[in-house]
Structure formats: structure tokens, C-alpha cells
Amino acid sequence: MAVEAYLGLKEYKSVGKRPVRHDGVDKVTGRAKYGADVVMAGLLHGKVLRSPHAHALIKKIDTRKAEQHPGVRAVITAKDFIENAKSNLGKEAAKNFAGRIRGTLAVDKVYYHGYPVAAVAATSAQAAEEALSLIQVTYKVLDPVLDVREAMNNGSTLVHEDLTTESLGEKTNKKSNIAKYFQQKSGNVDAAFAAADVVVDREFTTEMVHQGYIEPQNGTALYNQDGTLTVWCSSQGAFGIRGSVAGLMAMDVSKVKVVPMEIGGGFGGKLRAYLEPLAALMSKKTGKPVKLVMSRTEVLQCTGPTSGSYLKVKIGAKKDGTITAAQAYLAYESGAFPGSPVGAGANCMFSPYTIPNILIDAYDVVVNKPSTGAYRAPGVSNAAFASETVLDEVAEKIGMDPVELRLKNVAREGSRNARGMLVPRIGGVAVLEAIKNSDHYRSKLKGSHTGRGIAMGFWGNGGGLSSAHAIVNDDGTVTLMEGSVDIGGSRTMAAQHVAEVLGIDVADVHPSIPDTDSIGMTGGTAGSRTAFATGWVCYDVANEIKDELIKRAARIWEISEKDVVMEDGTFRSKTDRSKKMTFKELAGQLGRNGGPVSSAASKSHPGAGPSLAAAIVDVSVDPDTGKVEVLRATLIQDAGKAIHPSYVEGQMQGGLAQGIGWALSEAYIYNAQGHLVNSSFLDYRMPTSLDLPMMETIIVEVPNPGHPYGVRGVGEASIIPPPAAVANAVHGAIGHRMGALPMSPDRILKALWSNGAS
């Protein structure tokens, strides 16, 4: 890797450009095929019976009437999965299978409103719906636990009677709704707070929030007569779905093939298998293909939103702005089963800064709500809302510009984070300087009840295993197959890596995403890993092809390989100027000179560099209604190197818009019985284009030395700072620090009234 690549000085032919995306025409014309578009002969339609209760024991499930419906071909409950496991694995091996199936279909208890209880496959969707009403379930209703603080109390109703707390890495015998407690500690916070000139200590709450993708979950399965299974679905990771389905069907993964369809949004919410195992088992029972598609209500009730949380943050600083200590208490709702993203929240919340003394206490807590899923930098927006709001108040109390306070303490290469790890090359200084120099930050606010807020966010980014396979065609094009599902333009990103290495036009690279039988193992499109990990493996296969083509050119010219170079898509001899061939000319000769050229690789590269982002938001607040209007919003982010700047800007704009939704309007609302009462887009209030200004973006490029083109993932960090930036702007507008998300009109009015506003 050249030094100029590290420094971001080199001008590339494909990387950093904005070519037309390869799948764009199909998507805008409606030709692209999504999961719900799967149609085949004999297709049956599936539906899921869901619990009307948030917490209840199942005493009996009677499916006889449903099975007698003339359109019904199969009815399944958890018992069918258990029996299938016994037949495939034997009784002894399947002894604990009930625990594995519990999250897919209820075994003996339901844990949230909408919990799956049974499923039906019928000749039509209408017949399947009718059959659901014929299934009779006898429940013993229990009190639901709906608030994380209530759930943590001694004596609270237990969501799981057998769950015991893991505390500081040790298993305990204490039965509790606290699944896990851990701590991060560095330095001496007590002494550091005592030495501080200013200390700010505040409490915060956030609600569950959904990813809000437009396409609902879906899954179609066909169990073949040879004992193999094919699944079609819209997911963020075909191999993850394959593993889940194989496990629940008690099959070898080699017998399960997943065909990734196009995906209509995910943001982390489509990593988990919800419907695919149900379709698979009903297909096995009927011998027919079975398709299930969720309704919007099912999506909101039953898939994985991000955690609601209760947080306390305390920060101390000297008068000159030096942060001496930071302390946090994080309690996150994991939903029905352990596994909230509280770990990521703890890891990232103070990571934009160098703080020598830190103490974080973190809790993963089960409640009677849907199991949480990933949502763009999962767990970090909650934590940053608290830490960045307190940091803003620190700046206010010492009379320091909030950008300058952050710049004084921002993490730099070689400093240590809360876990004692050395910070790699990172773009914090560049991001903050970009804020200071931006037109937005330099502009003047106008009007009464207006405010401006800023905030920062950190995401570590991911790597992991990716696979790619490239083939040179005799017409000079390259067929590229890569394993990452395309959500935000990753096909074109992958093609740009290949085109750059080979010096050809990106339009001459034809990318596709094959099924799990046709490509090597690849991690999910999540965690801001795709451009880094899959891009790099595409770079690898392109370089292997380049090396082989140099050998072929040398063979044709009957000269040494060392005498051949490839520059800008042309092969030439270093010593004989007459020996020269374009990529296309050489490709046309491969058939008679050694045969086709291809390369395949499956690799896991280390070095995924972290990314920092910042938001600037201007708001106005109507003192009569409490309505907050966003006047202007800008997202600044270090992309390392923007492979396709338009797609990077799209990620930044999307994260900014979603973060504003978190801040002002989005929340799961439950009644006392644990029923989700806003399970539609009419009532679950996501912002639309009418609620938002044009999302402005500033791309900062501090190249990541762990990637040949300097790439840092960009999909996560953009959603972290907006909620805190909006909160800080609201404070500027009304003079009150908001401690709860969303900052809805009723909460704003209460804050105004508490300040004595009329």
C-alpha cells in the first residue's frame, strides 16, 4: 500500500468517484425482486398467531378446528419443532431443544404483546387468516414488567423464573430480571471529581425506537424431496439466516441454501430469522413452498427495536475545560430475552474524548417487550444523548464554546480509552475543525425561541469474514460475485475496488450477490463492516487477477514477468515500447493462452478503523404548542476515504434524519397491560420530508491505515450525535435541559411551564 493512499493524496480513477449504481435501473423501474415478490407453483401462504397478552402462561393450544379448515395445509406450534428435532437428532440430542425454539414460537409462556404462538399455511392468505381465529389458546395472564427500573427492583415480577444474574463476569444464584451487570473503570473517579472545578450530574430516559424500514420481514421456504431446503428472504446476512434456520430445523448447514433477495431497508433490524424457520417447517410438513410476510403491525409489535433505557451521567472538569472524570450508570431494556446493546453503549459513549478517570456501571435487563435488535450503532445513541448533553452543560457552566471544549479533550492517536486500549489514527480533530469552519456553525441564528446544538458520536466499526469471486470475460468485462447483501450501494462499492485495481471502467465490472451455495461465508451487512471488509476482499481478488494477467501478457510476448507492468488498464513492457495491450485486448486472448482467469478469496482483515461523527442542529420551539421545528441540520463524519461519496452522503443524511426522529417524535407506547398502542406508521411517528430541512453533509477524510484505500465504515456513527444535538439546541431555545426522549410537544410544554413560561 502506497504512502499516498494512507495520506489521502492520491487521485483515483474509480475510488472516490460517483458512478451510476449497477442495480439502480431495476430498483427505480420496479423490476428488482424483493422477498415478497417470490412466486412459484403450489405456493402456500403462511400466517402467525400472536399473543394478545404481554406476559402469560400457556395452559393449552387447541389447533383441531384450524386444521379442519378446507384451505389449511399445515398448523404448527413449538411442539412440531421439538418433534422434528427428535426425528433428525434423536431424543437425547433434542432434549434441550425447547430452549432453542422459545424465541421463535412460544413453548409454555408468552413474553410480550404479539409473541408468536402458532403458525398456519393455507392455499390463500385469507384462508390462513381465517384459520388463525380457529386456534384456541388458554392463557393464565401474568403481570407484565414494562419499565427497566421497575424490572430491576427486588420483588419485581420475574420475566423468566429461571434467569440468574451474571455479575462482573461471574455467575450468581440470584434470580432477577437483571441478566448481566458489568463495569468499566480507569483511574480514580472520586479523587478526580474532587479536583474538578465544575461537576454536572443528570438523569435521562429513552424509549424503545424501531428502525422503521419500509419493507416488512418475509420468508419463503421449499423443503425438497432430497432433504435439502431452499429459503428466499430479504435479510442483512444470508449466512446468518442459513445458520439460524439450520439450527432450528435440526439440519446440517450444507443442506440449507439461502437465496438473498433485494432488501427494502434494515438498519440492523433484519439480521434475525423470524419467519424463515416457520416457513421451512411448514414446507417440510406439506411438501409445498410456503411464504410468510409480516404486516406493519407485526413488524412493530414483534421485531427487534432498540432498547429503552435509564441513564445517569456525571462529568467533572477544570475551568480551562480539561475533563477530569466521567461516570455513567446505564440500564438498558433487552426485551424478552437477554442481549441489549448496553455493552456498545458503555464502550462508545466517552470514546470521542481522552478522559483519564472513568467509571461505568452497566445493566442488561429483561422486560415484557420484544427482544431488542440492532439499530445503527446499537445502544450508543442512548448513551451519547446523556453524555453529550451533560458535556454541553459543562461547557455552559465554565463559559466555554462547546466545540472548543470538545476539541481540547478529543481523542487523538495514541491516547487511551475507558478500556485502556490505545486509540488508533482517528479523525476527531478534523471533524471538530470542520464544524468550526462550516457555513452552518458560522451562520447567525435568527428569531426568538431558537437554539443551536452540537454533539459528537463514536463507533468502533467492524471487520470480519467476507468472500468474493471474480472472473475475467473475453469481452474485457469482469463478473464479480460478493457475499454482502446490498442495502446502500455496496454492489457498486465492491465494483469500484475491482475497477480501481484493474484500471478499467466500473461499468465493465458486473457485481452480483449469489446464494449461500455459490459464494464463501460472509458476515452480515451490519456494523459498518461492508465497505471495509467486503471491499478489501474484492481488492484482493482483483490483485490476484492482475498478477495472473501480467503472467499471461509475459507469456504472449515471451518475456519475463518482471518486465511487464500494468498501469491504468494497460499492460506494457518496461523495455520494449512496442509491446502494449489493453485489458480488453488481453482478455480476448485468454481462451487460447492458458484459459480463463478468475480469483476467489475468503478473508478476515484486521484494522477496521473507528469513525467519529458530529451533528449541528438548529431548532425553533413554539412556546404555545411545544412543537419543535428543525431549521437546519448538518452531519460531519470521518469516512476515511469515501469510496462512493454519494452513498456516504446518503448514509449520513439517513442517520441524521433517523436521529432527529429519535429526538423529537419516535417511541414505543405501551398501556398498563403491556399492549403496544401505536403499532402503525399513522401512530408511530417517524419524520417525513415535511418534518425535516435538507440534510447537509460534510465528509472528512482521515484515511484508515488498516485499509488499502483508507476506508472507515460510515453506516453507524451518523445516528449517534443527532438526539443530543437536538437536545442541546432545544436548551438554547427554551433554557431548559431535556432529560427524556422523545422531546415531544407535551414534554416541551411541561418544561416551559416548570420554568414559569406562560
User: Per the omega criterion (within 30 degrees of 0), is the bond before 742 cis?
Assistant: yes
Q: Of 222, 216, 238, 217, nearest to 282 (Cα)?
A: 222
Distance (Å) of CA 41 to CA 38, 283, 287, 556: 11, 13, 12, 52
> What residues in the chain have per-residue pLDDT under 70?
1-9, 757-758
User: How confident is the model at residue 416, as a pLDDT?
Assistant: 85
Distance (Å) of CA 582 to CA 237, 475, 564: 37, 12, 13
User: How confident is the model at residue 4, as a pLDDT?
Assistant: 40
- Please check whether the two domains, 11-32+463-604 and 309-461+609-754, share a CATH topology: yes
Quote the CA–CA distance of 239 and 514 in Å, as a whole number: 11
* Domain 309-461+609-754 sits in CATH 3.30.365.10: yes
Query: Given the DSSP bridges, would you call strands 478-482 and 509-512 parallel, antiparallel or unpaired?
Result: parallel
pTM of the prediction? 0.97
Q: Of 390, 238, 280, 247, nearest to 738 (Cα)?
A: 390
User: How confident is the model at residue 757, as a pLDDT?
Assistant: 58
Quote the CA–CA distance of 335 and 151 in Å, as a whole number: 11
Q: Hey, where are the domains in the chain?
A: 11-32+463-604, 35-142+212-302, 309-461+609-754
Q: Strand, coil or helix: what is 544? A: helix
HSE, CB side, 13 Å, CA atoms: give it for residue 126: 0
Give CA torsion, residues 208, 209, 214, 218, to 10 deg: -30
Whose cell is 452531519? That residue is 635
Fold held by 35-142+212-302 = Aldehyde Oxidoreductase; domain 3 (3.90.1170)
* Domain 11-32+463-604 sits in CATH 3.30.450.20: no
Query: Given the DSSP bridges, would you call strands 695-700 and 628-638 parallel, antiparallel or unpaired?
Result: parallel
Q: Strand, coil or helix: what is 17? A: coil
Provide the grid cell at 465: 469474514
Neighbours of 549 (CB within 10 A): 21
User: How confident is the model at residue 6, as a pLDDT?
Assistant: 42
Query: pLDDT tens-digit profile of 506-533?
Result: 999 999 999 999 999 999 999 999 999 9
| 446-462 as b/e: b if 16+ CB within 10 A | eeebbbbbbbbbbbbbb
DSSP state of 594: T
Q: Strand, coil or helix: what is 163? A: coil
Residue 51 CA to chain centroid, in angstroms?
Answer: 28
Sign of the CA dihedral with 373 first, then 375, 377, and 382 last:
negative
Q: Are 270 and 263 in contact (CB under 8 A)?
A: yes
Q: Are 471 and 598 in contact (CB under 8 A)?
A: yes
137: CB partners within 8 A, 6+ apart: 49, 51, 58, 60, 61, 62, 117, 118
Quote the CA–CA distance of 488 and 639 in Å, as a whole number: 15
Quote the CA–CA distance of 530 and 485 in Å, as a whole number: 9
Angle at 656 between CA 703 and CA 417, to 5 degrees: 50
Burial category of 577 from C-beta neighbours within 10 Å (exposed 0-12, middle 13-18, buried 19 and up) = exposed
Give CA torsion, residues 16, 19, 23, 28, to 10 deg: 120
Q: Strand, coil or helix: what is 682? A: coil
| Amino acid letter, 599 | S
User: How confident is the model at residue 458, as a pLDDT?
Assistant: 97
